[in-house]
A and B are shown apart, each in its own frame.
Chain A
Amino acid sequence: MRGEVAAVPRGWVVAFYGSTIGKKIVMAATGVILVGFVTGHALGNLLVFSGPAALNRYGELLKSSVVILWIVRVTLLAAVVLHAHSALSLTRLAQQARPSRYAKHATQASTFSSRTLRVGGVVLLAFIIFHLLHLTTGTVHPAFSPTDVYGNVLVAFSIPAVTVFYLVAMLALGLHLHHGIWSAFQTLGLNHPHLERFRRALATVMAVGVSLGFSLIVLAIAFQLVG
């Protein structure tokens, strides 16, 4: 409580995740998993430029082992849930920590990407749900085929509203990665001066690369440069 020096609580998992730093470390660690996934996903999707056979073969390969597929899916789901829960919890704490706002508050050092991280995260969560219903289960897809990945994406981005939503989400993803990757280094304590330039550069390159890679695929299909 305020004004008292705390007694030691029991249970290290509860104590760890109960602290703001513990939540941040969980967010950083799950973020690393998700960055790894999204990078692989972007690289794999570029096969759309090699034609239907290549992309569909890649799709088959990913689903070739049901066990591995579900291990990956469960890991990613757990990562997203923990990432979102820690974010939500820290956002609430932050809002409670400043009940009365400043009449005038100038930001001096924070980047645009850091200030849009939370709202971008909400956009991404909405996008992930839509994207799974759209191109994994096909629930909201007009003509979904479980085997024809190539055909599915061609149909998907012939609808302008869907294309725009995907592009907005990829912009949010780029901004999210730009602050998130740098921030993960900081949270995991990797801050040697030798790393400073590298981690800023890595965050920028990854953010631009992944966001642009996905967007190019969507745009190429929308403008019928592919297919």
Chain B
Amino acid sequence: MKLRLKIWRQQGPHAAGEFVSYETADVSPDMSFLEMLDVLNETLQLRGDVPIAFDHDCREGICGSCAMMIDGVPHGPQKSTTVCQLHMRHYRDGATIVIEPWRAKAFPVIRDLVVDRGALDRIIQAGGYISVATGNAPEANGIPIGKDMVDRAMDAAQCIGCGACVAACPNASAMLFTAAKATHLGLLPQGQPERSHRAVNMVRQMDLETFGGCTNFGECSEACPKDIGLEVIARLNADFLQATLKEREGA
């Protein structure tokens, strides 16, 4: 396959970036999208050019490292898939592909396609945890939990923190991420004691990180490689309202 790639190149956080076009020959339909970029980077290096920087780690769709906007869609055209699991067989020979980084004030570009997603870590730090006494691991089945709750918590816990929701959102809102993280704990008994604090603190941090607000467009859920549903957002809204109305700590 031959492809024409328009890729965002930016030397550093404060440099002005621009699109650079690359022609690639010898792309196999069996390659993953990242392998295609690897091959391009090898050619660039042989030519003495600087390779294109992009995040990647596990390459099996579970770590949330790979992140790029492909033709205006986070992670590319295949639904429920991270970039590393997208294969070149989905493209036709001679196609032009536009690749750019996530764009949000809260995700500053470090280089080329790599952005700093530390804002998501700080939201977790603000409340995306449960406090437990250290010691021996508790008996796994000590607290009975209904299967439906386990399933729903697991659905929310599938979030890999890739940031596609922020990238897809017209408001650059991190609501789907924050809500998924609050929900997977809030649905389980272990998550109850800190539920109100969690909602208030995570939302406050989310706002401080300069993400936009949620207006229920639904683009986030569509772009999510793990199919996190919009119901988690409604749940976080309800938790936040409840924390303000009922709990002493308030918003």
* Chain A bound to chain B: yes
List A residues at the B interface (Cβ < 8 Å).
1-6, 12, 15-16, 18-25, 90, 93-94, 96-111, 114-115, 117, 179, 182-183, 185-191, 193
Supply 4 further A-B pairs (C-beta < 8 A) apart from A90-B215, A94-B173, A110-B217: A94-B171, A108-B219, A109-B217, A185-B234
B175-216 residues at the A interface, CB under 8 angstroms: 201, 203-216
Whether A106 pairs with B73 at a CB distance below 8 angstroms is yes
The interface residues of chain A lying within 8 Å CB-to-CB of B87 are: none
The chain A residue with its CB closest to the CB of B250 is A12
Q: Nearest Cβ in chain A — how far from B7, in angstroms? A: 11
B114 to chain A, nearest CB (A): 15
**Do A108 and B237 contact each other (CB < 8 Å), given the known contacts A23-B213, A94-B212, A98-B212?**
no
Instruction: Given A12-B251, A191-B231, verify A103-B119 contact (CB < 8 Å).
Output: no
How far, in Å, is A200 (CB) from chain B's closest CB?
12
Q: Which residues of B contact A (CB under 8 A)?
A: 6, 8, 19, 69, 71-73, 98, 100, 103-106, 118-119, 122, 125-126, 168, 170-173, 201, 203-219, 221-223, 230-231, 233-241, 244, 250-251
Decide if A24 touches B222 in the complex (CB within 8 Å): no
The answer to whether A16 and B237 touch across the interface, beta carbons within 8 angstroms, is: no
A-B contact pairs, 16 of them (CB 8 A): A1-B208, A6-B208, A12-B244, A15-B204, A90-B171, A98-B105, A98-B171, A101-B103, A103-B100, A104-B72, A106-B73, A109-B217, A115-B170, A115-B217, A186-B230, A186-B237
Q: Are the C-beta atoms of B217 and A24 separated by less than 8 Å?
A: no
Q: Find the residue from B168, B211, B215, B221 having the highest chain A CB count within 10 A.
A: B215
Return the contact of A5 from the options B125, B203, B219, B238 (Cβ within 8 A): B125
Q: Is the CB of B250 within 8 A of A5?
A: no
- Check B170 against A94 for contact (C-beta < 8 Å): yes
CB-CB < 8 A to A182: which residues of B?
Answer: 216
Alpha-carbon gap, A78 to B105, bound state (A): 33
Which of A90, A97, A103, A188 contacts B238 (CB under 8 A)?
Answer: A188
Query: Hey, which chain B residues are within 8 Å of A101, CB to CB?
Result: 103
Tell me which of A6, A109, A111, A117 contacts B204 (CB under 8 A): A6
